[in-house]
Amino acid sequence: MKFPSYKHAEIEPELVRFWAHHQITENLKKRNKNGESWCFLQGPPYTSGKVHLGTAWNTVLKDMTLRYKRMQGFNVWDRNGYDVHGLPTEHKVMAKFDLKTKEDIEKFGVGKFVEECIKFAIEMGDEMTKDFLRMGSTLDYTDTYMALKNEYMEGEWWLIKQAWKKKRLYLGEKVMTWCAHCETALAKHECEYAEITDDSIFLKFKVKGKENEYLLVWTTTPWTIPFNLGVMVNPELDYVRAKVDDEIWILGKSLAAPVVQSVADKKMEIVEEFKGETLEGLEYEHPWFGLIPGMKELKEEYPNIHTVVLSKQYVDFTAGTGLVHTAPGCGPEDYEVGREYNIPPYNNLSTQGEFPADGPFAGRIAKKNDDKFIEDLGEAGVLIASTPVEHEYPHCWRCHEPVIFKTTKQWFFKIEDLKDVMIEENKIGFLFV
């Protein structure tokens, strides 16, 4: 087989024509048709724009695997696919027509908007296919599946129906990173992290039944204090009761001096040392317990609310006080520990991050109004200090606004009892990436 000579500007199109003319991939498939089966289904990229560097790199790595398997003599079955549903496509179409909110979409016309999304997705899919072929990808692009096609959606509904019939589909709650601007949940990989400066706060929660005894907690998210339902400590670490003025403060032993002397600018005397496990179940008073509608009823239904809970995994003495403010409705780690102690993921923010109109914080926006919560905590007499802290914080990849956390309703597949079987099945050589 004689290869053509190339000039630099002609290399790419000439190579594409050469492979197509000689049907190299097709001939490889014919040669290997009696070989051992090996299957590859494309984990679909979004058709929300031109091929970016990450997708190009991803495609090249996958194509290397396909080529290698064919060279080994495997009968490779492969199929391309594109994901087109959801906000990535909608966001692009909104930008195209200068639509800022969901209300703007309604004015534009929901049906018309859907049609424009379909049109955009198909056009971008075609453009991406051209780019992948120009890159020399040998993946099969002749029968691309797309999430907007009826055959795909009917397959999804068939799967859901089978799960429902076998009692494997259930509605549950999950704490998700949430963009109040886009009014949607975000997966972890959709978050962009940026270094920001926030006001962290040191608070004292009064131990119930004690005259002047307090649990000291620290947080970088003041807006979550209305949703506080617990305080986390590490059962294996050392804690102290320290006499500060006429009060007793409970905090981590190695953090006592830095917090009391440096942050609070006070003197202290250690009166007792003990392991964190002895604090389990200790009840405390939330500063806004009587102000937040429904909180008393919540406490009656879930007695473990506003008590000390234990966690070796999520509590250390690298920063703060050694006692972690816990809001199961405002963070995945808090949610996990809350489940262990039957504490619910309480969070009643609106999709736009607003606090309820019938409560004491009506009109406030989560995170944006941290300063107001800090002022209120000061007025409530529980604020010890507020200090700036630099840390990485997740932002929405679409609008680049800081995200919050929100409890959401999600559908789940029950697969715990199938996990081992699924792992074994995946050993037969089916690759979905």
Residue recorded with tokens 């997966």: 187
User: Where does 278-342 have alpha helices with state H?
Assistant: 295-301, 332-340
- Which residues constitute the domain of residue 115? 32-168+414-432
Q: Which token pair is 273? A: 């040392």
Identify whether 11 is part of a domain: no
* 3-state SS assignment for residue 213: strand
- If asked whether residues 263 and 382 sit together in one domain, one would say yes
The whole-number pLDDT of residue 428 equals 61
Tens digit of each residue's pLDDT (9 = 90 or more) over 309-353: 999 999 999 999 999 999 999 999 999 999 999 999 999 999 999
Report how far residue 54's alpha carbon sits from residue 43's, in angstroms, rounded to the nearest whole number.
14
- If asked whether residues 264 and 153 sit together in one domain, one would say no
Report how far residue 411's alpha carbon sits from residue 420's, in angstroms, rounded to the nearest whole number.
22
Identify residue 15 by its one-letter amino acid code. Answer: L
The whole-number pLDDT of residue 9 equals 54
Q: Interhelix angle for 87-96 vs 110-134, to 10°?
A: 110
Identify whether 393 is part of a domain: yes
Q: Which token pair is 264? A: 């609070």
- If asked whether residues 376 and 396 sit together in one domain, one would say yes
Residue 398 CA: distances (Å) to CA of 27, 54, 188, 197, 208: 43, 17, 13, 21, 45
Which residue ranges of the chain lie beneath pLDDT 70? 1-10, 428-433
- If asked whether residues 378 and 267 sit together in one domain, one would say yes
Tens digit of each residue's pLDDT (9 = 90 or more) over 47-58: 988 888 889 999
- If asked whether residues 366 and 426 sit together in one domain, one would say no
- If asked whether residues 389 and 425 sit together in one domain, one would say no
- CB-CB contact of 214 with 205 (8 Å): yes
- If asked whether residues 240 and 346 sit together in one domain, one would say yes
Distance of CA 146 to the CA centre of its chain: 25
The whole-number pLDDT of residue 7 equals 57
- If asked whether residues 419 and 368 sit together in one domain, one would say no
- If asked whether residues 211 and 261 sit together in one domain, one would say yes
Domain holding 266: CATH number? 3.90.740.10
User: Where does 172-259 have alpha helices with state H?
Assistant: 253-257
Identify whether 6 is part of a domain: no
- If asked whether residues 375 and 425 sit together in one domain, one would say no
Identify whether 7 is part of a domain: no
Q: How far apart, in Å, do the first and last CA atoms of the chain sit? A: 34
Burial of 271 (0-12, 13-18, 19+ CB in 10 A): exposed
Q: Which token pair is 215? A: 């649990």
Distance of CA 192 to the CA centre of its chain: 11
How many domains does one find in the chain?
2
Q: Is the pTM of this model over 0.75?
A: no
- If asked whether residues 129 and 223 sit together in one domain, one would say no
Identify whether 13 is part of a domain: no
Identify whether 184 is part of a domain: no
- If asked whether residues 130 and 197 sit together in one domain, one would say no
Domain holding 139: CATH number? 3.40.50.620
DSSP state of 192: E
Report how far residue 42's alpha carbon sits from residue 80's, in angstroms, rounded to the nearest whole number.
5
